[in-house]
């Protein structure tokens, strides 16, 4: 009995290790495939994997023949450090990186019902243009709503009271450098960089269509089961606190 | 309602599923003239057939495969109109058919059609049915593949029979169809899909029970769940019967088939169907206990406060407030949230191999800066840029050359200042005087320069020993 438990724990740990490799798929690794099948078929093994993941600071968000998706809990060692996601140097640039991450998710899932759809259905691919247009449209609406209110002072800009949309609105969408590259600080380039970052983390694939990115099953599960609800909780607290 | 039976509502719902196909056919007359001779409905049904035939197989069904499959039919339709096959037109028509089946026009959302229903008391009311026909699904190989929805499978394989949304029935219908058609390898893969559907069905029930335990108000135990449990019991009974039929059919085939490979496919169908049967038997036990879960959760949560929980709309509920919030508040939330979009990742450890490989990589060329650089106009310049403009140098040289009598540097500097010449000109004068004082040139300059012992420059801009300056060939005393 003890031997059997040891074997189950070993296999559970192996499955978690596979889950931590976002680009590895069960179809490529027979062992991963067997472990996922075991996870789906055996309640006891499923329980051990979930407990072990919890102990390590992770949550099993979903499992299927496409793999195992793990989400980090608060302060988990498996949580990517914000500096790895928001890589740029200035606070404004880091803010734009974060906003663009949410804007990408909003473009992939434009309606609440889309989040309740099955995770195995691939959402339509997104492009840099689509994300840019959606954010610019919101900036325009917020700009119109702000008309009639006093313009923000320069002090508000430095103390952080300036609204986030003004930072985005203040950046040009595109600008070329003398050697015909896109300037790094333009919004289109920021969106592209973030999509590439998500691609590197196994969240998007580049499609054959020029400039389009296809969200992966892993990303869709992460947004549905973790990122959207957690971020929404933070936003709700912010709105309830009435601070702006 | 008297005169209106429930099965009429069910049949209405079934019929609504063909509206996208009818619309595709009606749209044939409105497309570009080069595509009008193609029959969208026939092509759509061929797409259904292609997907059913490949369900569960390793190969992805992408646009290229659909195009390859439809090409002979499209060429035949071209020939009937006396046209030569045109690959661009074939591609355009394939895109049109797939777009219509996926509802690309509505961002691939489900088709939504309203229909008439009647309450038991005879009240008429409109309901809306949402469904999909074809969707892009993730394939284990990492790409996406076209899949038929359960509704589309049942529509295609079972025509107007009822229970059109039953995933398990859809999967098993495919197995039965493929077994009957002698497609044993496809049948084996489809049996795997049926097995996965049974796993999903179990997960669905587990989720309802889990949600009930978390928050009893998230689950409708008044109407929806009791109905679902009743349906589930009926479903499981039917599935057990169907699985028994498949198991029996597979067993019969096994006795007749001589080929070892084909036998292995049918054996797999047999094994998977047995697993499905076992799972459904277990599910039946859980269903028996489901009501107890509700009663216990209800008792436990009766006095607890509740919050309404629903999926947030990312754009309206998250993104807009973040954009409207202050930079500081928004940045604070985003620093916590951004890593969640990436998921759990193992931080890479130190690797000697990676370090060595990195060190062996050729040096990357430096990246050009992003700042805009003014393009300079191209012109020949000396190897050293002159400190003073050529015109100014000529002017000072002329002043020195035109000296009428000996003087001092201080006097000359004062004169330039009086004439309102720039400080730059006075600096140049001082430099030229010093140059002449210790000249390397063998030829003489325009003036003679000597030190004036014991005297210092009288100027608020310069300091140092005074210099006597005289026209060349004048003797400096």
Q: Kindly list the domain boundaries of chain A, sorted by start residue.
A: 2-72, 82-241
**Separation in Å, CA of A1 to nearest CA in chain B:** 24
pLDDT over 90 at A131, yes or no: yes
Q: Measured between CA atoms, how close is B313 to chain A, in angstroms?
A: 4
Query: Which region holds residue B50: left if phi is over 0, alpha if psi is between -120 and 50, else beta?
Result: alpha
Q: Is the pLDDT of residue B300 over 60?
A: no
Residue A65 with chain B: CB contacts under 8 Å: 140, 196
> How high is the pLDDT of residue B355?
82
Q: Which residue has the higher pLDDT, A211 or A35?
A: A35
| Candidate ranges B52-66, B115-129, B396-410; pick with highest mean pLDDT | B396-410
Residues of A in contact with B335 (CB under 8 A): 82, 86, 94, 98
The pLDDT tens digits for B39-59 are 999 999 899 888 877 765 556
DSSP secondary structure letters along B155-207: HHHHTT-S-TT-HHHHHHHHHHHHHHTT-HHHHHHHHHHHHHHHHHHHHHHHH
Contacts of A222 in chain B (CB under 8 A): 340-343
| pLDDT tier at A219, thresholds 50, 70, 90 | very high
> In the prediction, which pLDDT does A127 show?
92
Tell me the HSE value of B160 on the side-chain side, using a 13 A CA sphere.
10
Distance CA A125, CA A132 (A): 14
What is the average pLDDT across A227-235? Answer: 91
Of A96-110, A199-213, B78-92, B154-168, the poorest mean pLDDT is in B154-168
Contacts of B337 in chain A (CB under 8 A): 98, 101-102, 227, 230-231, 234
Least confidently predicted of B131-145, B302-316, B386-400: B302-316
Query: In whole numbers, what is the pLDDT of chain B averaged over residues?
Result: 78
Q: For residues A68-77, give the mean pLDDT.
A: 89
Mean pLDDT of A188-192: 91
CA B329 to chain CA centroid, Å, is 27
Taking contacts as CB-CB distances below 8 angstroms, the residues of chain B near A167 are 327
Residues with Cβ < 8 Å from B253, sequence gap 6 or more?
Answer: B179, B184, B266
- The pLDDT, as a whole number, for residue B219 is 61
First to last CA, chain B: 135
More confident call, B10 vs A213 = A213
* Contact present, B60 and B120 (Cβ < 8 Å): no
Mutation site for A-interface testing, chosen from B334, B336, B365 by largest number of A Cβ within 10 Å: B334
Q: The tokens 């449209």 sit on which residue?
A: A137
Question: Whole-angstrom Cα distance, residue B402 to residue B419?
Answer: 16
Q: Which residue has the higher pLDDT, A2 or B97?
A: B97
pLDDT digits (tens, 9 = 90+) for B221-251: 666 677 777 777 777 777 777 777 777 777 7
Q: Closest-CA residue in chain B for A203?
A: B342
What is the rounded distance in angstroms from the CA atom of residue A102 to the CA atom of residue B334?
A: 9
pLDDT of residue B94: 92
Taking CB atoms and an 8 Å limit, are A230 and B347 in contact across chains?
no
What is the structure's pLDDT at B161? 44
Least confident of B34-48, B110-124, B356-370, B396-410: B356-370
- List the single residue in B310, B344, B372 with the smallest CB-CB distance to A76: B344
Q: What is the pLDDT of residue B223?
A: 67
Among A34, A102, A225, the strongest candidate for a mutation testing the B interface, having the largest count of B CBs within 10 A, is A102
Eight-class DSSP state of B477: -
CB of A167 closer than 8 Å to CB of A92 = yes
CB B276 within 8 A of CB B239: yes
Cβ separation A66–B138 shorter than 8 A: yes
CA distance A228 to A101: 11
Does residue A177 carry a pLDDT above 80?
Answer: no
Mean pLDDT of B207-219: 62
Distance from the Cα of A3 to chain B's closest Cα (Å) equals 26
Domain ranges of chain B: 1-141, 166-302, 390-471
Q: How confident is the model at residue A88 (pLDDT cuts 50, 70, 90)?
A: low
pLDDT at B281: 77
Residue B206 or B355, more confident: B355
Give me the mean pLDDT over the B274-297 stretch.
73
Distance CA A51, CA A44 (A): 11
Give the strand pairing for A212-215 and A58-64. Answer: unpaired
Segment among B60-69, B259-268, B428-437 with least mean pLDDT: B259-268
């Amino acid at each position: 009995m003890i031997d059997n438990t040891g074997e189950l724990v070993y296999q559970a740990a192996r499955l978690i290790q596979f889950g931590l490799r976002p680009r590895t798929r069960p179809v490529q690794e027979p062992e991963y495939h067997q472990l996922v099948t075991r996870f789906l078929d055996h309640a006891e093994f499923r329980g051990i994997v979930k407990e072990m993941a919890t102990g390590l600071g992770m949550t099993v968000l979903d499992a299927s023949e496409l793999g195992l998706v793990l989400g980090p809990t608060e302060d988990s060692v498996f949580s990517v450090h914000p500096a790895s996601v928001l890589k740029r140097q200035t606070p404004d640039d880091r803010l734009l990186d974060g906003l663009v991450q949410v804007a990408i998710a909003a473009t992939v899932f434009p309606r609440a019902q889309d989040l309740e759809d099955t995770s195995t259905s691939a959402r339509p691919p997104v492009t840099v243009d689509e994300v840019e247009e959606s954010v610019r449209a919101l900036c325009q609406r917020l700009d119109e709503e702000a008309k009639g209110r006093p313009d923000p002072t320069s002090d508000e800009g430095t103390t952080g009271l300036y609204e986030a949309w003004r930072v985005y609105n203040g950046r040009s969408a595109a600008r070329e450098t003398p050697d015909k590259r896109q300037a790094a600080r333009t919004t289109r380039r920021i969106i592209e960089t973030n999509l590439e970052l998500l691609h590197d983390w196994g969240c998007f694939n580049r499609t054959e269509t020029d400039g389009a990115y296809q969200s992966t099953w892993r990303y869709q599960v992460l947004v549905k089961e973790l990122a959207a609800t957690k971020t929404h909780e933070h936003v709700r607290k912010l709105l309830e606190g009435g601070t702006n | 309602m008297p005169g209106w039976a429930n099965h009429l509502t069910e049949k209405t719902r079934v019929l609504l599923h063909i509206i996208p196909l009818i619309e595709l056919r009606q749209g044939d007359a409105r497309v570009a003239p080069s595509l009008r001779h193609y029959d969208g409905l026939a092509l759509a049904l061929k797409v259904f057939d292609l997907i059913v035939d490949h369900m569960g197989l390793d190969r992805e069904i992408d646009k290229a495969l659909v195009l390859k499959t439809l090409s002979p039919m499209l060429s035949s339709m071209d020939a009937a109109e006396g046209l030569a096959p045109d690959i661009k037109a074939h591609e355009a028509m394939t895109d049109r058919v797939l777009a219509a089946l996926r509802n690309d026009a509505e961002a691939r959302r489900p088709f939504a059609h309203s229909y008439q229903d009647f309450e038991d008391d005879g009240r008429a009311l409109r309901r809306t049915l949402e469904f999909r026909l074809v969707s892009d699904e993730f394939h284990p190989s990492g790409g996406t593949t076209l899949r038929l929805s359960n509704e589309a499978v049942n529509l295609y394989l079972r025509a107007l029979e009822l229970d059109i949304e039953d995933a398990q029935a859809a999967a098993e219908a495919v197995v039965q169809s493929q077994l009957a058609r002698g497609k044993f390898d496809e049948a084996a893969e489809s049996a795997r899909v049926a097995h996965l559907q049974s796993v999903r069905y179990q997960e669905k029930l587990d989720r309802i029970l889990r949600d009930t335990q978390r928050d009893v108000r998230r689950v409708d135990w008044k109407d929806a769940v009791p109905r679902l449990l009743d349906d589930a019991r009926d479903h499981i009974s039917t599935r057990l019967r169907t699985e028994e039929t498949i198991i029996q059919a597979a067993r019969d085939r096994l006795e007749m088939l001589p080929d070892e490979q084909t036998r292995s496919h049918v054996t797999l169908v047999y094994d998977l169907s047995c697993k499905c049967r076992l799972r459904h038997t277990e599910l039946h036990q859980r269903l028996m206990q489901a009501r107890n879960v509700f009663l216990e959760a209800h008792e436990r949560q009766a006095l607890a406060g509740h919050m309404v929980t629903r999926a947030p709309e990312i754009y309206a509920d998250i993104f807009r407030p973040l954009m409207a919030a202050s930079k500081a508040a928004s940045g604070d939330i985003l620093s916590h949230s951004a890593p969640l979009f990436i998921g759990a990742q193992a931080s890479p450890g130190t690797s000697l191999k990676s370090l060595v490989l990195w060190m062996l990589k050729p040096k990357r060329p430096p990246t050009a800066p992003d700042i805009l650089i003014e393009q300079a106009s191209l012109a020949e310049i000396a190897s050293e840029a002159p400190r003073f403009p050529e015109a100014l140098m000529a002017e000072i040289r002329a002043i020195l050359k035109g000296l009428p009598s000996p003087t001092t540097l201080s006097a000359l500097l004062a004169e330039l200042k009086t004439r309102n010449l720039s400080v730059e000109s006075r600096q140049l004068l001082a430099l030229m005087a010093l140059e002449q004082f210790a000249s390397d040139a063998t030829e003489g300059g325009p003036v003679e320069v000597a030190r004036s012992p014991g005297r210092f420059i009288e100027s608020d801009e310069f300091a140092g020993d005074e210099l006597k300056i005289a026209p060349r060939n004048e003797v400096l005393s």
